[in-house]
Amino acid sequence: MSGRKTISETLHDGVGMVFDAEDVLYEEGTGHHQLTLIRNPVFGKVLVLDGAVQVTSRDEFIYHEMLAHVPLAAHESPADVLIIGGGDCGLAEEVLKHRRVGTLTQVEIDASVLDFSREHFADFNAPVFDDPRFRVEIADGAVFAAETDRRFDVILVDSTDPTGPGAVLFTTEFYGSLKRILRPGGIVVSQNGVPFLQPDEFSKAMKGLSSVFGTATCYLVSVPTYFGGHMTLGWSTDNPASLAVSEETLAERMSGIETRYYTPAHHRAAFALPRFIETLLENA
């Protein structure tokens, strides 16, 4: 299917981004989501699920590098890693750059997102599918976390926003399951939205994470297509020392990994929060 049209993001009430669609590459209900894939002159390919932008070819590296490298560089020995969601596989690509990672399991609810991303985002996710450390399960991440006997050193929740199938990934019950399957000293990082536009969602997620993990904070990333100011990534752990790893150690653990956004100095800086986010966190 092709033709010129525009696609509007409908995630936030009262405000949204509009993308010029040079081509509409795909538009269909998958059973879990309404999936739209367009080509935009600024951002390249843009994947939209249920009216919310998920990933674009042009700025995916920003979000994926910060979601992967911050916890992996902070962890002493991230042997077994779990991704919940992450259907476009851009996060898996960053995780697998770490030779210290022995296994990567990805639990994604929607096989269509994986299939379409494999076909249309091969420019960044192609290496993932040939990597013997990578294994995908098509399942609800909340059910997997509640039932699995496996344990993980780092868990990355790369979810849609808290509506539709993603809603369950923002519940206290799900956070309890993550704690159960996290090894001692482990780290959970979760997509917690843009607090300027989603203060209630942010507060609810942080309150749930703190009540389950004790140590829960967040760090910042600015992604052009997740507009509205900084996005926050939740950081939950039983190991507060993971927040104090020196730049020197981070640099050693990142050695040989090329990045376009992440640096050890920026890793440390990303935990310095603007006052209004600090206040939301304190009051959560």
- In whole angstroms, what is the distance from residue 185 CA to residue 36 CA? 39
- Assess 65 for contact with ligand SAM (CB under 6 A): no
Residue 148, classed as helix, strand or coil, is: coil
Largest CA distance in the chain: 53
Residue 138, classed as helix, strand or coil, is: strand
Tokens standing for residue 33 = 């989501």
Shorter beta-carbon distance to ligand SAM: residue 204 or 253: 204
115 is catalytic: no
- Assess 50 for contact with ligand SAM (CB under 6 A): no
Shorter beta-carbon distance to ligand SAM: residue 203 or 215: 203
Residue of 71, 78, 86, 234 that binds ligand SAM (CB under 6 A): 86
Establish whether 130 is an annotated binding residue: no
Establish whether 141 is an annotated binding residue: yes
Continuous H helices in 138-189: 141-147, 172-181
What does the radius of gyration of the chain's CA atoms come to, in whole angstroms?
18
Ramachandran category for residue 124: left, alpha or beta (phi over 0 → left; psi -120 to 50 → alpha): alpha
Q: Single out the residue of 30, 63, 25 nearest to residue 46, CA to CA.
A: 25
Catalytic residue from among 59, 130, 158, 238? 158
Shorter beta-carbon distance to ligand SAM: residue 141 or 195: 141
Shorter beta-carbon distance to ligand SAM: residue 54 or 237: 54
Q: Single out the residue of 152, 149, 225, 148 nearest to residue 183, CA to CA.
A: 152
- Assess 186 for contact with ligand SAM (CB under 6 A): no
Shorter beta-carbon distance to ligand SAM: residue 96 or 250: 96
- Assess 113 for contact with ligand SAM (CB under 6 A): yes
Q: Which of these ranges, 127-135, 147-155, 157-165, 243-251, lies near ligand SAM under the rule CB under 6 A?
A: 157-165
Residue of 68, 96, 107, 280 that binds ligand SAM (CB under 6 A): 107
Establish whether 131 is an annotated binding residue: no
Q: How many residues does the chain have?
A: 284
Q: Is the dihedral of CA 211, 213, 215, 221 positive or negative?
A: negative
242: Cα separation from own chain's centroid:
19
Binding-site residue numbers for spermidine are 64, 88, 158-161
Catalytic residue annotation: 158
Binding-site residue numbers are 64, 88, 108, 140-141, 158-161, 165
Question: Residue numbers of the site for ligand SAM (CB under 6 A)?
Answer: 32, 52, 54-55, 63, 84-88, 107-110, 113, 140-142, 158-160, 165-166, 168-169, 191
